[in-house]
Structure formats: C-alpha cells, structure tokens
Amino acid sequence: MDGLCALVGPVVVPGETACWECLRRRRLGNDSNFEESALLQASAPTAASRRRRLSPPGATRLLGALVAAEAIKVVTNYTGSQLVGRQLELNLVSHTSTVHDISRLPWCRTCGGAAALPAKPDPAIDLAHSASVSELRKRLSPIVGPRTGIVKQLVINDRDANEPLALSTATALIAGAAIPSRHSHHDEPLVGSGKGTTPVSAMVGAVGEAIERYSASIYREADLLRASPVALGKGAFDPRALCLYRAEQYLEPGFPYDRHDPKRDLSWTQGTWLDSGDPVHLPALVTFFNYQAPKGEYLCQVTSNGLAAGSGLEDAALRATLELLERDAFMMTWLEQRRPQLVEPGEDLDTATREVVLEMRELGMDVCLYLLRSDVAIPSFMCISWGDGKNRPAATVSLSAHTDPVQAARKAILEQAHVGPYIQRLMKDPTQKIPKTAAQVRSLNDHALYYVPRSRLGSFKFVRAAHDRALPLGRVRRTHKGSDMQACVAALAAAGTRVAVADVTSPDIRQTPFRVARALGTYLQPIDFGHGQRRLANPRLAARINSNPHPLA
C-alpha cells in the first residue's frame, strides 16, 4: 500500500527478470526528490513503521485478492501472469490502473543485473519508422516510464509562437538517480532534446540523446585497465592526440587541467580503430561522460562531443564520428577564421524541410546556410539565423555533417529551427544574463547569449564576407565512394587523421533497441565551453587564433 495506491509485483523469475532491488532503485531514481529519499531510505530503521495508514474501505481485501490471483497464476500456470518483470499500480479510489515495465539495473547486488543476461545482437528495430506516437511509446517500454523508467518523462513540447509550425520538438527527462555521479556536468540538465518534421522523429531524437548520456555514464572501475601510456605503447590512444593545451595555458592562474605525463598511470577502456579494426586502449576520462578522474589525471574538459546513440553499434559509431567531424570543421573555421561558402538550398531539400525554412523566414529569421571548409572532406554545414539583436539574437548557429550533402544541410536547418527560438526565449528571460565580456562566458548557453547584441556581429565578419555568391546545394558533391562509414574513413585518412570508437552501451541499454558509441579522433579539434577552455595544442591549428568566443550552444 502506498497512500491511495496499491502496488502489486513484480513477479521475479530468477535469472530472467528484474528483482526487488532493481525495482526499488528504479523507483527511487524517479522520485522527484531522489537524493533526499535515498538518504532517508539509507538511514531508516529496518523495522516496519508503526504509523497508521489511511486507506479506503476494503483496500486491504482488494490488495490481498490481487496478490492471491497473481500467486495462483504463477503456481498453477493456468494462465500467464502479466506482472513478470512488471508492477501493477492501482488507484484505490478511481480503480484506474497502470502497469510499469521494469528493466534490470546494469549491475545488481541481488540478481546480477542486466550484465548477467546473455548478450543480445544489434537490434533490427528502426524506431523512427514507428507508425504513431503510441506505437513508439510501446516500443520504448521499459526505457520510458514515470515510475521505473531510465527516462522518466518523454513529451512533445508545446510550440512557441516563434517556432515553425512544421517542426516538432521533444524533451526526454532522465531519472534523477540514473546517472550516479555528476562529474563536471553538475550544472547541465539531465535531459535529451530532439527535433524533426514529425512528432515520432522528434521523440526518437530526444530519447536517443538522453540514452547516450545515461549509458556513457555507467561504468565500473574494476573493468578498466590501469597503466601508463608508455607501458601500453602503440596499443594506446596517445592522450596528446586529444588536442590538449599549450604550455602557456598551464601557467594561467587557476587553470583546472593537469599536464599530461606519459609515465603516469591512467584508466583505459577498450576501443577499436575505424580504419584497421585493430583494438586500442582509450582514456576512460574522455570515453565516459562522467568518469571520476583521480587527482593529477584530469587532462582536459569532457563534453558529449563524439557521443551518439544509434540503432546498432555501426550506426552509433557513424553518428559519433560525424559529430566529431562537424565540430572539428566548425572549430577550425572559427579559430582560423576560414571563410565558408554560402549555399542556396533551393529545391534540393525535401518538402517538409523547405516548409520549415519558409516558416522561419516568415517569422523574421534571416536564415543562411554555409558549407564549412575542412581538410577532412565530409560535407559539414553551418546554419546561421541573423537577427536585429532586439527581437531576435544577432546570430544563432547550428551545425551538421553527413556524407550526403543534402542530409547534412537538412539537419543543420532543423537544428537552427530548434535552437534559434530557444536562444530567443533565453534572451528575454530575466533570469538569464548576457555576458558583458568574453571572460564571463562560462556555460554552454553563455556562448550563444554572448552574440545576442548586434554590436558583436563584427566577430562574424569573415562569415558574412561569403555573401557575394551562393553555391546551389545540388552542386555540393559527396566526396568519397562506398558506405557512409567507408567514406568517413577515407576522408580521415586523406587528412592524415584517424578515429577510434568505444562501445559504451551499458548492460541495461544493451537489452533495448539502442547502442551507444564514443568516438575519439587524432588531432580533430574538439568543441570547448567556457572562457580559457580552448584546447590549442593541435598541430593543425595556425599560430594566430581568433580570440572571440565561439557562438555554439
């Protein structure tokens, strides 16, 4: 009994389903005050409470009858129990009921958790092809659920008056206790966001982003290798290839990162080089989303750059690699002030995306599409919405990369349709402050808010210089043959760089339609957030660097 609700189940099948401990911790994670509730549970006496409970007349008899009925099903098997690995929640006043699916914890001290289950092959389900929102929700159980889900809430957002009607956006809220430690992301909301031209595609994107953050935050120290880069030799990803910091940066007062010492032991996890398929040890710090590095091993800022969820490991690895490439192309463009190529989308986009562009322009968003110049020849686009600095930010930026130029352009445009109105809402929010100086840029949102005033458009002079002639999107060609992954590998090799990928799918997510991958590139310029955080030890960078904060949120 829980207030005015009766809870029955789960029926536990040892070795096959979630146990009581899995249920307890999943429900705890979905508690709105999970941290306080966890402390209360840990400190509460083991004896049953003597507090008198208020319940409707006959509630105890009803609950007893439900338990007896399920017990008979299990013992006699005259019909299958509907509560195997599930819990029934019955409102004792309205008699409405809900059944909550329960996924096993990654590792459980009672039942072994999902890690004890046989490995499943990559899923064959394409969630984006779900016929309806209701069908998608069924496919996402038990990932999504308000009582026991890894994602406690998945909603289609109400449209803002300044958003295109042709765009759907969604938000996925991760259960509070799902990510056990916050690392440097304590100020980031535990949410995933998605967008698309249909509600289903927006919801899939939101859940995917939530799952990638959750899954990449689940690890066990005992599974990691402790060794120095020198001891591992060529079998390790050289931390210097992550683009760390120049010597003068370490001398700055309060600089938060440790110098790399090749003789110092680090924690490593297993990965694979994309080009050769050979195994390689990857630094745990930058592979996982919230790895708790010991003192002296915090080598650089950790972000979600190169972290992606997909419908299989190859799909996730491709998405992760493309994100690395889009961020590299953008950061190299911004830091070296490379002039991009203005592109006219025209009729090459699909009808739904053209409608989004039309509606953005009707809303007063002066949207322009640019092809970024990069030595890694994978089409990378930047979409900018220019504004007056009063009703709309002076500039908001979105990115995308794909081997198919039309796909890349489409994704950059849809991202702008989502992020542009979001930054517009922030600029009008009295609780948000526009940084007065570059030194005040600290958070992700600060980077975008810094370019709300029109007076800062001078930072985009090298971009706006490209407005003399537009290239039709149809003339932007795919640069390499073969599959999307083969094209990426070929482009990376031609540029003299490589990418390694780690499978960071947690044991519980491995039982779902998702896989999660982290990609790390050699000397691919990573995104950074906050003043003084730039990773400048990159031989691909010129000596003279753009001092203005980048505008990407």
Phi first, then psi, for residue 397 (nearest 5°) are -125, 140
The answer to whether residues 501 and 466 belong to one domain is: no
User: Are 193 and 205 within 8 A, CB to CB?
Assistant: yes
Pair 318, 379 in one domain:
no
pLDDT in tens, 394-431: 999 999 999 999 999 999 999 999 999 999 999 999 99
pLDDT of 3: 79
User: In this predicted structure, what is the pLDDT of residue 479?
Assistant: 85
Buried b (16+ CB within 10 A) or exposed e, 259-275: ebeeeebbbbbebbbbe
pLDDT at 316: 97
pLDDT at 45: 53
Residue 541 within any structural domain of the chain? no
**What is the rounded distance in angstroms from the CA atom of residue 430 to the CA atom of residue 63?**
50
318 and 225 in a single domain? The answer is: yes
Residue 266 lies in a domain: yes
pLDDT digits (tens, 9 = 90+) for 327-347: 999 999 999 999 999 999 989
Structure confidence at residue 239 as a pLDDT band (50, 70, 90): very high
Domain that holds residue 270: 221-323+486-521
* Lookup: tokens for 314: 């190859």
DSSP assignment letter at 243:
T
Query: Residue 184 above 80 pLDDT?
Result: no
Spatial distance between the Cα atoms of 290 and 286, rounded to a whole number of angstroms: 9
Pair (460, 491) in one structural domain: no
Number of domains composing the chain: 3
Q: What is the pLDDT of residue 371?
A: 98
Number of residues that this document lists for the chain: 553
Q: Are residues 230 and 353 in the same domain?
A: no
The mean per-residue pLDDT over the stretch 368-393 comes to 97
Same domain, 460 and 514: no
Domain with residue 514: its CATH number is 3.30.40.250
Fill in the DSSP letter of residue 179: S
User: Do 397 and 388 meet the contact criterion of CB atoms below 8 Å apart?
Assistant: no
C-alpha–C-alpha distance, residues 425 and 510, integer Å:
37
Are residues 444 and 502 both part of a single domain?
no
190: which 2 tokens?
Answer: 């535990």
Q: What are the backbone dihedrals phi and psi of residue 154, each rounded to the nearest 5 degrees, phi first?
A: -135, 115
475 and 495 together in one domain = no
197 burial level (CB within 10 Å; 0-12, 13-18, 19+): buried
For 29-55, give one letter per residue: b (16+ CB within 10 A) or e: bbbeebeebbeeeeeeeeeeeeeeeeb
Look at residues 349, 417, 347, 406 and name the one whose alpha carbon lies nearest to residue 381. 406
Could you tell me if 287 and 387 lie in one domain? Answer: no
Whether residue 174 is contained in a domain is answered as no
Which sign does the torsion angle of CA 227, 229, 233, 234 carry? Answer: positive
Q: What is the mean pLDDT of the chain?
A: 92
Residue 367 lies in a domain: yes
User: For residue 432, what pLDDT is reported?
Assistant: 95
User: Is residue 215 domain-resident?
Assistant: no
The pTM score is: 0.93
Q: How far is 309 from 534, CA to CA, in rounded Å?
A: 26
435 and 507 both lie in a single domain: no
Task: Kindly state whether residues 306 and 389 are assigned to the same domain.
Answer: no
Identify whether residues 356 and 470 lie together within a single domain: yes
